[in-house]
Amino acid sequence: MWSLDETHLTLLKVGWRKKRRNTGRCPAESREERESVPRARMRIVSQWTFGETGGSKLCNMAAEADGALKRLLVPLLLPEKCYDQIFVQWDLLHVPCLKILLSKVLGLSLVAGSLLVKLPQVFKILGAKSAEGLSLQSVMLELVALTGTMVYSITNIFPFSSWGEALFLMLQTITICFLILHYRGQTVKGVAFLACYALVLLVLLSPLTPLAVVTLLQASNVPAVVVGKLLQAVTNYRNGHTGQLSAVTVVLLFGGSLARIFTSIQETGDPLMAGTFVVAALFNGLIVAQLLFYWNAKAPHTKKE
């Protein structure tokens, strides 16, 4: 084993520190250093220079952190060019990239939130063991609209963040349909409905269904949303209360449809998708207004003989 001369080692340390102070970068060895030390010893000096001092370690750690951040954001939240624009060039006010980031964050938040949107409604029905005040026709029309959006988006290969909540809302809506039929004493009909819906959905997602049919289904969403919400509004008006309608679910649907107007324009550029959410926001707002109007009204209790 051998060791470096103590004076030579001290000079190398001082030279490295000065070079780093002047350049602000992780330094390499100078030509003089390479010429003054044999190659075998140079490898040791290199290892010491880049190891013990911690300069290169800091640079490596920064590079690893940047790589991890990039893997997290690209392409989930940002395209690579926007990542470079914001995090490499530090252009924090680049409006087009900020719009993309906001749209992605909103979209993924809506997808995550959709897991819980209709669960309050489901639990309210189960807790009351009644679906009083809910219009079956309205819920089914909402299911048609959600199915149309989901199938249309999958067919056109839209980003999942622009339509993902339709999948989870569809699963919760079909559960509500079944519960309404079940508590009306029509459980067999409810099971048959679930089987028929699954079959229709498979056909719509298969290559057998022409694109024109899928587009027509998405276009039918607007009248389906209008008629469905109006049916619920009429039911509320006739009853003089909102029954087992969940205020949490209705408010979340209203807020989600408002946010979807922006994300649909930003991520898909599809006027049919954006128009559907505009109409949905208007009529979800109508149901919210009825909830506020009938807030203190309660359903009359029916006496059993």
If pLDDT is split at 50, 70 and 90, which confidence band does 202 have? very high
CA 119 to chain centre: 18
Q: What is the mean pLDDT of residues 237-241?
A: 88
The per-residue pLDDT for range 53-96, each reduced to its tens digit, is: 455 666 666 666 667 777 777 877 888 888 888 888 888 888 88
Contact 76, 104 (CB under 8 A): yes
The per-residue pLDDT for range 167-189, each reduced to its tens digit, is: 999 999 999 999 999 999 999 99
Q: What is the pTM of this model?
A: 0.64
Average pLDDT of the chain to the nearest whole number: 80
4-13, 239-248, 293-302: range with lowest mean pLDDT: 4-13
Alpha-helix runs per DSSP H in the chain? 6-23, 31-36, 39-51, 55-73, 80-83, 95-117, 119-128, 136-155, 164-183, 187-205, 211-219, 221-239, 247-267, 271-293
> 142 is written with which tokens?
């909402």
Contact 46, 55 (CB under 8 A): no
